[in-house]
Amino acid sequence: MADITVLGAGGFGVALSVMLERFAHRVTLWSAFSEEIEAIKRDGEHKKLLPGVPVPDSIQLTDDISCVAGKELVIFAVPSFAVRQVAQKAVSYLDENTIAANVAKGLERGTLKRLSQVLAEELPRNKVVVLSGPSHAEEVARGIPTTIVCASDDRESAQKVQDIIMNKTLRIYVNDDLIGVELGAALKNVIALAAGINDGLGLGDNSKAALMTRGITEIARLGCALGSQRETFAGLSGIGDLIVTCTSMHSRNRRAGILIGEGNTAAQAIEKVGMTVEGYISCKCAYDLSHKAGIEMPIIDQMYEVLYNDKKARDAIRDLMERPKRHESEMVWLLSR
Ligand SMILES: NC(=O)c1ccc[n+]([C@@H]2O[C@H](COP(=O)([O-])OP(=O)(O)OC[C@H]3O[C@@H](n4cnc5c(N)ncnc54)[C@H](O)[C@@H]3O)[C@@H](O)[C@H]2O)c1
């Protein structure tokens, strides 16, 4: 049994807390917003973000960030854009032996940093791990068998988190390729938006399979150029997470994509989904990263045009289909400058 704080009381923070409590951990769930904490206390669940999942009284609910003190593990379950800010709030209360685990899937806008880099900068005394894989909150909360990876530059910390968290509903594999795991996690959301557009346009299974397969190929291409291993993208945080995100209605990114395919602008689609659509920001980050590294990412380029320059989705699909001929395993992928 471990003492664990989960930072962020959205869908995934609540799901993780409920799952960890079920396996006898002492869990504290923190939100920056006192109204959110009060609402969960009052309703016994998070009515908006994880309805129908009871939050037991044994989970301590608080908006006081000093709740990170003295914990074995602190899990950052806030949206990507809030990770740095929450780490800055927590740092003065954290013990140096506490492991910081990030579950947010994204890159930092502007700096293009991976979130483990952000945490390492803000929490220089703490070991950092990343948990990632196909793990919808709705299913984790209900104990549906789920598999994820725990990645870190520090194998011992990853194994420790595996020891603490793994249970009969959540199987965890250790992974040493932090860069690959984080890029897979962040960029699959862009492909999920594309898969949603495919569905919203009324296209088919062939076209969706094409987006997913060529999508993971270009994510891997960028990843390899940035120092990760190709096989990571065939794993849980690569193709695994891509499959779940591109095929499930639990995915906000896919739902936003469907709305765009049906004729909404990106802004309208995000407003209608009503929650964070992380693929929108990740698309801009991936676009900037790939152009900086000189790596060809045709689906990302087209998604950037659709999301940021109001290109018609049908025109984007046409332009993808009419690209110059290629060999499937072609290694000539440097952008011509
Ligand atoms: N939902 C899932 O199934 C799932 C699964 C795996 C990973 N993740 C990742 O976990 C992260 C959180 O996802 P989620 O689904 O819980 O998101 P969410 O939109 O449900 O979470 C919103 C919550 O984040 C917190 N928050 C929002 N803005 C904040 C701020 N400025 N400062 C501090 N806290 C803030 C609040 O508690 C809010 O309720 C995301 O990066 C997501 O990609 C989600």
> Quick check: CB of 305 below 6 Å from ligand 1?
no
Say what the pLDDT of residue 337 is: 42
Contacts of 318 (CB under 8 A, 6+ apart): none
Q: What pLDDT score was predicted for residue 249?
A: 86
Angstrom distance (rounded) from CA 185 to CA 133: 7
Give pLDDT tens digits for 79-132: 999 999 999 999 999 999 999 999 999 999 999 999 999 999 999 999 999 999
Average pLDDT over residues 26-55: 98
pLDDT tens track for 295-320? 999 999 999 999 999 999 999 999 99
Which pLDDT tens digit goes with each residue over 317-337?
Answer: 999 999 999 988 866 555 544
Atom of ligand 1 nearest to the CA of 189: 43
pTM for the complete prediction? 0.96
Which helix (H) or strand (E) segment holds residue 36: the answer is helix 34-43
Dmax (CA) for the chain in angstroms is 60
Q: Is the CB of 31 under 6 A from ligand 1?
A: yes
187-321, superfamily in CATH? Answer: N-(1-d-carboxylethyl)-l-norvaline Dehydrogenase; domain 2 (1.10.1040.10)
pLDDT per residue as tens digits for the range 192-244 = 999 999 999 999 999 999 999 999 999 999 999 999 999 999 999 999 999 99
Pocket probe for ligand 1: among 14, 74, 276, 281, the residue whose CB has the most ligand atoms within 8 Å is 276
What confidence score (pLDDT) does residue 171 get? 98
Q: Is the CB of 9 under 6 A from ligand 1?
A: yes
Whole-number average pLDDT of the chain: 96
Answer yes or no: 113 catalytic. Answer: no
Beta bridge mates, 132: 149
Q: How far is the CA of 32 from the centre of ligand 1 (A)?
A: 12
Which of 105, 113, 188, 208 does the annotation list as catalytic? 188
- Provide the pLDDT for residue 329: 82
Residue 282 has pLDDT above 60, yes or no: yes
pLDDT tens for 252-262 read: 999 999 999 99
Does residue 65 line the site of ligand 1, with CB under 6 A? no
205-225 helix and 298-309 helix, angle to the nearest 10 degrees: 110
pLDDT category of residue 274 using cuts at 50, 70 and 90: confident
The per-residue pLDDT for 336 is 46
Residue with tokens 């793994």: 166
**Is the distance from the beta carbon of residue 235 to the nearest atom of ligand 1 less than 6 Å?**
no
Q: What are phi and psi of 258, to 5 degrees?
A: -60, -45
What is the model's pLDDT at position 275? Answer: 81
CATH topology of domain 3-176: Rossmann fold (3.40.50)
- Residue 277 CB contacts under 8 Å (≥ 6 apart), including other chains: 189, 193, 252, 253, 256, 269, 270
What three-state secondary structure class fits 316? Answer: helix
Q: Domain residue spans in the chain?
A: 3-176, 187-321
Q: What percent of the chain has pLDDT over 90?
A: 95
* pLDDT tens digits, 127-182: 999 999 999 999 999 999 999 999 999 999 999 999 999 999 999 999 999 999 99
